[in-house]
Amino acid sequence: MTVARHYDVLLHRHAGNPILTAADWPYAVHTVFNAGATRLADGTTLLLCRVEDRSGLSHLCAARSANGVDGWTIDPEPTLPPDPEHHPEELWGIEDPRITFVEELGRYAIAYTAFGKGGPGVALALTEDFRSFERLGLALQPEDKDAALLPRRVDGNFALLHRPMTHGRGDIWLSFSPDLRNWGGHRPVLQARRGGWWDANKVGLSPPLIETSRGWLMLYHGVRQTASGSIYRLGVALLDLERPDRCLLRGDSWIFGPEAPYEREGDVANVAFPCGYTLAPDGDTLHLYYGAADTSVALATASVRQLLGWLDAHGGHRADAG
């Protein structure tokens, strides 16, 4: 269903949404949502979906499509299941993957949330083929999530965006590592704005950052608590290429929010939550894959050029409010 609203100028829902649901899965599951995304060397789109089974715990499962829209081939069993025997931080499942291809390593880095007795923490895994994986374990301790690695080093170090919860605040931070195992140099990047803003209560990274000639384009989710619950919407900001802890522009309003029935109704109502994107060969068209109401996977398209233009017009002096 297509819903026409003013913010659809920037993001356009696919007419066939949702593109993946539990009914598409080759084994019994409850819901499918919050998929990381990448385009493989042969042009295939791979989604690494968060799948909640009927125990209530989540694992990750790959779906592949030639066009990134339909004709999905889904792995017949979990692609990356929790491994609590060797990684007790995964005792209660693994969630919300974000995929970055790191050319230096020749591998894909998957940042995901490992959910254990201590709460949600940020874990990393590496893969060449999404068949076998090298788990690196927890990178950042609970309570932390919404993480993605940058595709190249910054000032000699790998860089990881993430969202710790500190004193009730949910802000986006950046951390650095020489080896993907030891992390430090933690710096704040983007804060929830408090007050009556649409992103007043929490902010977190949505898909991995998008590198442009002007800076790192960041799509992030903002949460506002209302009398009837939380609403998750999407905002946009621009970070400095060499100093990604420095926010250059931040939109003064949200650009996409839950409006369609599949986004308003589900296990968690009023959620549009992207974890992955692919960039078309034209270098401008984004395919943004998002979880809808924590129940299904949906698709929206956008233009990098138009997002940057919108930021120029709507990223005023209030952008750094926190």
Instruction: State pLDDT tens for residues 125-176.
Output: 999 999 999 999 999 999 999 999 999 999 999 999 999 998 778 999 999 9
Considering the chain, what percentage of its residues have pLDDT values greater than 90? 90
Residue 287: inside a domain: yes
Residue 4: inside a domain: no
CATH at residue 240: 2.115.10.20
Question: Is it the case that residue 318 has pLDDT exceeding 50?
Answer: no
H-run or E-run covering 310 = helix 304-314
**Nearest-5° Cα angle at 317, 312 to 322:** 115
Question: Is it the case that residue 293 has pLDDT exceeding 70?
Answer: yes
Phi, psi of 192, deg, nearest 5 = -60, 140
Q: What confidence tier does 316 reach under pLDDT thresholds 50, 70, 90?
A: low
- Closest to 172 measured CA to CA, from 50, 320, 306, 290: 320
Question: Is it the case that residue 280 has pLDDT exceeding 70?
Answer: yes
Question: Is it the case that residue 61 has pLDDT exceeding 50?
Answer: yes
**Mean pLDDT for the chain overall:** 94
Residue 1: inside a domain: no
Residue 189: inside a domain: yes
Residue 2: inside a domain: no
State the pTM of this model. Answer: 0.95
Under DSSP, is residue 271 helix (H, G, I), strand (E, B) or coil? strand
Residue 143, preceding peptide bond in cis (omega within 30° of 0): yes
Render pLDDT for 74-84 as a digit per residue (tens, 0 to 9).
999 999 999 99
Q: Domain span at residue 32? A: 16-315
Render pLDDT for 295-308 as a digit per residue (tens, 0 to 9).
999 999 999 999 99
How many independent structural domains does the chain possess? Answer: 1
Under DSSP, is residue 7 helix (H, G, I), strand (E, B) or coil? helix
Residue 321: inside a domain: no
